[in-house]
Structure 1
Amino acid sequence: MPVTPPLPQISVNNKPSIVSWNRLEPRPIDWQFNRALRVEVRDAAWMLARQWQIGEFRAEDRASPAFAYIEYDVAKLTHYKAGHMLNSQNPQEAYSDSIPLEVQVEREEVPVDLNRRLQMGQYWIRLIMSLLELPKQEYKTLLQELRTAFPIPLPQDSLNGYSLDYGLSQSNPAERQMLSLSAGRAFDGEKFYRRIKDNLSWLADLANTVYPDDTAKADYVIETLGNKVFPQFELWYNRLFSQPTLVNQNNPNGPKIKAWENSSLEYKFKAVSSQVEDGYQRDKFLVGDDYSSGRLDWYGFDIEPTEVTYQLQENYGGNTKIQTYKRTFFPTNLEYPGAPNARWWEFEDSKVNVGKISIDTADLGRMFFLDFMFLYNGDWFSFPVNMETGSICKVKKLVVTDVFGRRHDIKPAGEGSDTNSNELDWGRWSMYAMSERGKPDTSDRSIFLPPTVASAMEGEPIEKVSFLRDEMANLVWGVEQVIPNGLGRGMSGSQAAVALTEYFNGKGQNTPLTTTNSDFIYKLANTVPENWIPFIPTKVPDSDRNIQYQLGAMPRVVEGLQLDPDNRIVDGRTVNDTIVNSRSQLLMELDNPDNPYIYEEEVPREGTTVTRSFQRTRWFNGKTYVWLGRQKKAGRGEGSSGLLFDQLIPVPPAS
């Protein structure tokens, strides 16, 4: 009979005790992953273990795609409309891909400065000399008559008072030198062009003045200038710059319609395309209402829902034809520079050294890229779908047949699963898709290839305005850092303001201070540089908390000089010598009684900088476009103007 040893007595401690665990995990000596990416080769056992580690021995019941069938609709852009969607006053125009959409959105009227007037005058002379056959002396007589009728004025100073035009000229050395050189030697080509365009019969007055006694010669000059010189000049003039052409119906003689919105400091526009739903053709609005970066792309658009529906056969104007394509392709593995081969041990080229990628644990972007490259790259396939520039494509059907003959109906990832229509956002996945307004749970299935430029040359800004907050003064300032110099370039706004102030101070008469026994002098307010234009926070109508910034005015005070308080019209704008007027087009447009506001959110704490510059590009048809556009960037923080009110200034002791 076997003897069973007695069991040991186990003492149980019912008192609570502190139990702790230590987690053991490997920690690399180096924070870099370079060595792990080199695929170093060891002995055979190590290589087998490495294959097991990366899953090459794991059997998976899957197949590769053999071919794919795709069916999709392609529609071209049909119309374009500048301005906000709610602004129904702006007409829309038929879109043509002969011009880049970026140019059509950004372009605005180019101001007629001194340089442009002289350039137009010189081209008039070139055409007259080449197309009008006259003796040399008669050429001189005709050109002298043009100089007399359309002179280049040279501002003159006032002996007893002041001249604002002369002061502005003194603050612009480059323009002053050009005026001194061209006054009396050239004529204003822009005024000559407007005179003929508005009244072609005026050429008879010009010819009769030059040839009062020779009717035949006068008729020859009228015929040549009207039928040969003027058409060629107008053709050259229209090719200089790309400018907007739509006229504001409420103000036909005013500026042309452009997409820039002053209140938001952004471009607002829409492009119209078409889509097919249930046998009907529907407008598809692609809205861009927050574009200001200077480079337009597909992600600058949102889909605006519309209820306008009409049948396919209806002629809406423009190119509204929707083309349906059916294609069968052989999918290929996704390829890009540095992509690994399908098998782990297959040799690759050395054009991209993945092992040299510098990465650490905090570099999430590169970690995601490497994770996709090594783990998921083999599961992605691609096949080409050709699209024309300026078209929008919507995939209707995608069926993939694998090597086992099974057919798979592929659904867009952004739609979620078919079994759960209320699937949450985390269950969806989409990329390179435009958002559809009013439907935050889904993304639009269309792919838009906007007709924008690949690259463009951009000149130095001719205008630069920095909007910055001044918390001490409770104001926002529009600081004109760069203003136009009248010759197609920009100049320092601060230097021009100092020069203009010095001119006015030189015209004033310093009055001696009244003798007083007081220790302090009271000063109502000090002044700020004239290139600092104030914006005053004002309450939005019918709102208790919303604030907008309204363009204000700074008084111009010159000691010992009486300024003219009367208003007058200069270049279509009401000016007053007692008020500091802005000298940049960016701020001049805000000097509008109908809408002198900027939204509060457009001037954050870091500020906002808006520039205006010329750009040039070449389109796919070989045509060159030059236009004047704007761009908004982040500022450099808050600022202080030094504006103070109600000062008590100590009186310096008598020497």
Structure 2
Amino acid sequence: MPSITTWTRLEPRARAGDMRPALEARIHDPLWLLARQWQFGEYLADDAGSPVWIRVRARSDGITAYRPGPLPSAGTPAAPVEAYSPGVPLEALAEREAVPSADLRAAGESGRHLLRLLDAAGLGEVAAAVLRTWKLPPPGAPDDSPATAPEQSAAVRRYLAVMGGRAPDGDLAAEALRPLLPTDEVPPDLRLTAARTAAALPVLRTWLAWHDARYLAAPAGDDAWQPARMEYHFSVGADTGGPLDGTAPGTEVTLVAPEYLGGRLDWSDFVATGPTGLAPEPARAEVAATVLPAPAAFPGMPARRYWEFEDARVSLGAVETAPDDLARMLLAEYATVYSNDWYVVPLDLDAGTLTTVTSVVVGDTFGSALGGPTLMPPPGGGAGDAHWSLFRLSTASGGRHPAFLLPPATAQGLEGEPLEEVLLARDEGANQAWAVEHTVTDAVGAPLDRTRAATPPEEPDPFARGALGYRLMSSVPDHWIPLLPVEVRPGAVRLRRGRLTRPLPDGGREPVPPLGRLLDPGGTLDLYHEEVPREGAVVTRAWQYARGADGRGYLWVGRRKRTGRGESSSGLRFDTLHS
């Protein structure tokens, strides 16, 4: 029987033995393509070649001095200068604060560690003497917790019910041992014999070194936090301009961070100024590198190919500018017209250095036909760019410093839950500014939500019958701390932290102080008026952890200031009637 099945092979069939015509991809209208090239300006010649290699030489000076607080002025003592090593994150050094000894949980943990070390060394009697001398108080002690927070008192009582009398207070032990151990002595309250003292000294020194190295703590009164600004203020110094071998000093350059808000430090937080007495040690190095430049790239930049789609997340055509919005128009013009004229030159620098570029030599595609490589003019020395700068520090006089700062900041760190949170807000209804304590820490270091523990405001009884009553002022919650305008000197107004009062059973009233450290309950807090803007501000305290360039881990308590959530209303009213 005959078959009707046929087969067709799906494969190209060359009509000639030469494959070159098929691979040439000929254009049937070359005049159209030439016109499009002319329309896009591809025939414009700038007599400029593309860079092939770039050789950079620079001088790098390390930061070697640190001083907290503002710069010294006439009649104002300056904070002591500390030697600085770039291995330590500069944020940790600037943000560190003295951790309060009232944290009973941390004190109990360090005390238990001391007992474990003594027991492991076979010094059980010394451990018993340590526990007897510095034991944690039992629950119900007068100083266990402020009476203004019932939940805080309950949390402290629960902790002391378990640890009271069973663990020593490590902070008290460290305070008593620190001045005596260098002289091979122990506190007389331990009542140790000479033999037991000699056996316990190595263990006590090991424990004290561990206790003091748990976190970074600033000396009393030498922290960089400025309560009147709710910001950090500090300065670092570098020795520049001397010989590369460091045999002779050069010129001192002080880098001041006047408004550091906390978080991550960057070069833009600093302002360069002249010598201020930091006297940094010279730490100079020469930087020389020959690199291959790469075209600058950014998301949404025009694609190099005709039929390639740009990044849809960036729409340069949707940029809205006003006639006076020069910065935005300049950015749009750079992205659409001049972005392909810029190149990136990578240069490896050490963190914590102030680098000055001394020479830049460019070798382009023209080669030696037009005189060889080109020595570029210094930044700001070319035609028309005397006032142009990028990544250059501002100076105190309004100019630009020629060096580039690479601060020794943390690349990525860990931040704990806020130990304290204070909201600085305006209340237009009451014509008042407030500092609202949302979160504080109790005596065992745990966060306490003051919005739940606050005493509710007094309100009139809605079921009371009788004549109308007059109320001079309504009540506000306890955690709303008033900020009252005070003229500290003629023409200068500050916002001074006030205090509320609450009734007592005997008919009197007692003041309600702030419970956190941010509002400085033990002193007078005068905030600058501009630090409480209309949008408000949120200030927090939290544990921070980061790893430095030396590989070590650093733990400290830092503060951070962020933008607030707008205006707030306390419900404060004056001159009201109620029945």
Residue 405 of structure 1 is matched in structure 2 by 371
Which amino acid in 1 is paired with 2:96?
R
8 A Cα contact 1:204 1:222, kept in partner: no
Which amino acid in 2 is paired with 1:102?
E
Deviation at 1:47, TM superposition (A): 2.8
Q: 1:592 aligns with which of 500, 511, 523?
A: 523
Larger Cα-atom Rg: 1
SS in 2 for 1:585: coil
Residue 72 of structure 1 is matched in structure 2 by 58
SS in 1 for 2:405: strand
Residue 190 of structure 1 is matched in structure 2 by 171
Residue 12 of structure 1 is matched in structure 2 by none
Deviation at 1:70, TM superposition (A): 3.9
Q: 1:535 aligns with which of 476, 483, 501?
A: 483
Which amino acid in 1 is paired with 2:519?
L
Once residues 78 and 432 of structure 1 are traced to their aligned partners in structure 2, the CA distance between those partners, rounded to angstroms, is 22
8 A Cα contact 1:241 1:626, kept in partner: yes
Residue 20 of structure 2 is matched in structure 1 by none
Deviations 1:335-370 (A, max 9, x none): 55779999758x99xxxx636455263236999888
8 A Cα contact 1:548 1:597, kept in partner: yes
Residue 108 of structure 2 is matched in structure 1 by 118
SS in 1 for 2:483: strand
Residue 264 of structure 1 is matched in structure 2 by 229
Matches within 5 A, 1:614-629: 614-629=543-558
Q: 2:79 aligns with which of 90, 96, 100?
A: 90
SS in 2 for 1:184: coil
Instruction: Say what the alpha-carbon RMSD is for the aligned residues.
Output: 3.7
SS in 2 for 1:77: strand
Distance 1:167 1:323, change over 3 A: closer
Residue 190 of structure 2 is matched in structure 1 by 206
Deviation at 1:221, TM superposition (A): 2.4
Distance 1:61 1:183, change over 3 A: closer
Distance 1:613 1:330, change over 3 A: closer
Structure 1's consecutive aligned runs of 4 or more residues displaced over 6 angstroms after TM superposition are: 277-280, 337-343, 364-371
Deviations 1:30-50 (A, max 9, x none): xxxxxxxxxxx9954443332
Q: 2:394 aligns with which of 435, 449, 461?
A: 435
8 A Cα contact 1:102 1:296, kept in partner: yes
Which amino acid in 2 is paired with 1:628?
V
8 A Cα contact 1:268 1:289, kept in partner: yes
Deviation at 1:448, TM superposition (A): 0.7
Deviations 1:545-604 (A, max 9, x none): x321011122232243557xxxxxxxxxxxxxx211110000126x424xx210000000
SS in 2 for 1:588: coil
Deviation at 1:124, TM superposition (A): 1.4
Once residues 59 and 166 of structure 2 are traced to their aligned partners in structure 1, the CA distance between those partners, rounded to angstroms, is 62
Deviation at 1:405, TM superposition (A): 1.7
Answering whether residue 259 of structure 2 is matched by residue 302 of structure 1, we say: no
Residue 358 of structure 2 is matched in structure 1 by 396
8 A Cα contact 1:415 1:428, kept in partner: no
Q: Which runs of 5+ in 1 are unaligned?
A: 1-40, 209-217, 246-254, 309-315, 506-512, 564-577, 651-655
Distance 1:629 1:280, change over 3 A: closer
Deviation at 1:282, TM superposition (A): 1.4
Matches within 5 A, 1:541-560: 541-543=489-491, 546-560=492-506
SS in 1 for 2:272: strand
Answering whether residue 208 of structure 2 is matched by residue 234 of structure 1, we say: yes
Once residues 468 and 275 of structure 2 are traced to their aligned partners in structure 1, the CA distance between those partners, rounded to angstroms, is 69
8 A Cα contact 1:67 1:328, kept in partner: no
Matches within 5 A, 1:13-412: 44-65=30-51, 67-86=53-72, 88-112=77-101, 113-134=103-124, 143=128, 146-147=131-132, 149-155=134-140, 165=146, 168=149, 170-199=151-180, 201-207=185-191, 218-225=193-200, 227-245=201-219, 255-276=220-241, 281-306=250-275, 319-325=281-287, 327=288, 329=290, 331-334=292-295, 336=297, 354=310, 356=312, 359=315, 361-363=317-319, 372=334, 375-400=337-362, 402=364, 403=367, 404-405=370-371, 408-412=374-378
Deviation at 1:178, TM superposition (A): 1.1
Q: 1:583 aligns with which of 515, 519, 523?
A: 515
8 A Cα contact 1:619 1:625, kept in partner: yes
Deviations 1:60-92 (A, max 9, x none): 423344554544221111211100123542121
Distance 1:44 1:358, change over 3 A: farther
Stretch deviating more after TM superposition (77-86 or 332-341): 332-341
TM-score (norm 2): 0.80
8 A Cα contact 1:359 1:367, kept in partner: no
Once residues 434 and 381 of structure 2 are traced to their aligned partners in structure 1, the CA distance between those partners, rounded to angstroms, is 47
Distance 1:607 1:42, change over 3 A: farther
Answering whether residue 497 of structure 2 is matched by residue 522 of structure 1, we say: no
Deviation at 1:408, TM superposition (A): 4.2
> How many residues get paired?
528
Once residues 156 and 282 of structure 1 are traced to their aligned partners in structure 2, the CA distance between those partners, rounded to angstroms, is 58
Deviations 1:486-506 (A, max 9, x none): 3333120122223xx79xx9x
TM-score (norm 1): 0.72
